[in-house]
Amino acid sequence: MMGHVLITGGATGLGLATAEAMGKTHRVSIIGRRGAVAEAAASALPEAAAFAADVTDEAALTTAVRAAEERFGPVNVLVAAAGVSETAPIARTETDMLRTLFRVNVEGVLNAIRPVLPSMIDAGRGRVNALASTAALKGYAYA
């Protein structure tokens, strides 16, 4: 196996598809909120492990990253795929909904980058990929 890929949100959706593709050639650490779902995803890959953490909990996420590094070495590629999507017309958009979207989709990415960045800088290389939906690029009409 070539290197260590860590994927937040790697148990479902685009994160899982990424884990399946990268798992053919890399060691993969899957981080997800639901440990059993992450375990099931990891068990289907040749060399993978699952770690339970919520990307909005910086301490728990850092602990999970450290455990992943203990298992597979420094992270060479981070794929920040954890995310949530909730929409409503502006008249029904609650401030708490926007706070949740920001905490998961923005702060969650930063929380994932911070613990892997020092070893990437020390190695002089590394990749950080943040996945998003097409809603980040285009507005959609409500019926």
Beta strands in 9-142 (DSSP E): 27-32, 48-52, 77-80, 127-130
Q: What is the pLDDT of residues 15-44, one digit of tens each?
A: 999 999 999 999 999 999 999 999 999 999
Closest to 10 measured CA to CA, from 1, 25, 24, 35: 35
Q: What is the pLDDT of residues 116-142, one digit of tens each?
A: 999 999 999 999 999 987 777 777 777
Give the pLDDT of residue 84. 92
Question: Could you identify the residue written with the tokens 């997800």?
Answer: 32
Q: Report whether pLDDT(81) > 80.
A: yes
Residue 3 near residue 76 (C-beta atoms within 8 A):
yes
Task: Name the pairing type of β-strands 4-8 and 77-80.
Answer: parallel
Q: Label residues 30-40 b or e (16+ Cβ within 10 Å = b).
A: bbbbeeebbbe
- 117: tokens are 């960045």
Phi-psi region of 110 (alpha: psi -120 to 50; beta: other; left: phi over 0): alpha
